[in-house]
Amino acid sequence: MYSRRDAIKTAVAMPALLAAQSANDTIRVAVIGVGNRGSYLLRTLLKIPGIRVIAICDLDPERLEKAAAAVSATGARPATYTDFRKMLDERKDIDATVIATPVDTHKMIGINALEVGHNVYCEKPMASTPADVRLLASAAKSAKGIFQAGFQLRHDPARRRAMDFIHSGGIGKVLFLQGYRHTGDLPRDTPWYFDRNRSGDNIVEQACHIIDLFVWTTGKHPLRAFGSGGINLFKDVPPGRTTMDNYAVIYEFPDDVRLEFSHIYFDPPGFSGIKERVYGANGAIDLPTATWIEREKKGEIKLDVPNAGQDPGLLALAAFFDNARGHKQPLNNAGSAALSTLVAMMGRKSIYEKRVVTWEEMS
């Protein structure tokens, strides 16, 4: 489990983390997938000193050209590919690969990059099926390079401070977990988002971020889950949609701790939003704001947050390259990412099959 000592060390180190990236110790990077998420990751990693993008891969020529132009603006001239296997075969000078492709390709591309010795940053979730999660986690465990998953909320300064407070006993014994992600629908220009066979459905592709935080909170896997969901508003919108537009699931963790999580895509703007709250014997804390309330007192208490407001995506990537240089175990490593992805899949299985699902069925 992530300890208070770890959090203090990280809080002290984080302000200097970006500055510590040395241009004299250049990491040569390939980016596979430069769609919505991948283009953000590309723009972000270009801000980190000591990083040189030498190759980009994407199936879409227009996205590929746009990404190459963004890198060329920094003075570099990346090679471009539409076949990641050809890139991995031809370029023996790649040190690290950043993967931001559809979920059902994570296992295949991730394993190939690990097998040729790359350090790998792979967007969440690990994969779209439990079997593929286990295969990628196994490959990462025996790989020469490090593997870091794109669960960047673990690097958000407020959430990290809140987690330190919880793990140090600030709210007392953890009693109950509550989260919801109530938003508008996903961008309609990305078809695979709406194909549950490709994305793993929304509980896996999107909600795994928040589920990961609650798994991190408890440091344990749940014992069982029960959920229900469906498509109530966006039936066949976009055409062929198979992903849910609403669901709710309850997880039961050891020590009689429950997580209540709901997710809807037809929330009116500004009505609900995103919440991640942990209730304890001494009070409750809101993770995104690192604000807590004592149970016997009135008034919110805002915790001091080192590096407040910094982009967790930037901090996650900076940590990845720092971990790659020092061959250090990432906070969001393959083991923790596999666990959180499987917990999301546990909820999905319960929703689809309309029954209680136990952890033994996932493991």
Quote the pLDDT of residue 234: 98
User: Are 190 and 42 within one domain?
Assistant: no
Cβ proximity of 188 and 108 under 8 Å: no
Quote the pLDDT of residue 20: 47
User: Are 291 and 278 within one domain?
Assistant: yes
User: Are 288 and 191 within one domain?
Assistant: yes
User: Are 122 and 265 within one domain?
Assistant: no
User: Are 61 and 88 within one domain?
Assistant: yes
**CATH code for position 296:** 3.30.360.10
Q: Is 11 exposed, middle or buried (0-12, 13-18, 19+ CB in 10 A)?
A: middle
Q: What is the pTM for the complete model shown?
A: 0.92
User: Are 288 and 140 within one domain?
Assistant: no
**CA 23, CA 353: separation in Å to the nearest integer?**
52
User: Are 205 and 233 within one domain?
Assistant: yes
Which is nearest to 63 in space by CA: 42, 84, 91? Answer: 42
User: Are 277 and 266 within one domain?
Assistant: yes
Which residues constitute the domain of residue 347? 154-307+340-361
DSSP secondary structure letters along 221-268: --SEEEEEEE-SS-TTSSTT--S-SEEEEEEEEGGGEEEEEEEES-PP
Quote the pLDDT of residue 144: 96
Quote the pLDDT of residue 32: 98
Quote the pLDDT of residue 113: 98
Angle at CA of residue 27, ends 309 and 149, nearest 5° = 55
Which long-range contacts link 39-45 to residues 24+ away (Cβ below 8 Å)?
39/63, 39/66, 39/67, 39/70, 40/313, 41/98, 41/100, 41/121, 41/123, 41/313, 41/317, 42/67, 42/70, 42/71, 42/98, 43/70, 44/311, 44/313, 44/314, 44/317, 45/98, 45/317, 45/321
User: Are 43 and 170 within one domain?
Assistant: no
Quote the pLDDT of residue 78: 97
What domain count does the chain have?
2
Quote the pLDDT of residue 24: 53
**CA 275, CA 247: separation in Å to the nearest integer?**
15
Quote the pLDDT of residue 162: 98
Mean pLDDT by 10 residues, the chain (363 residues): 42 48 76 97 96 97 97 94 98 97 98 98 98 98 97 98 98 98 95 97 97 97 98 98 98 98 96 96 98 93 96 98 97 97 98 98 90
User: Are 79 and 162 within one domain?
Assistant: no
User: Are 188 and 146 within one domain?
Assistant: no
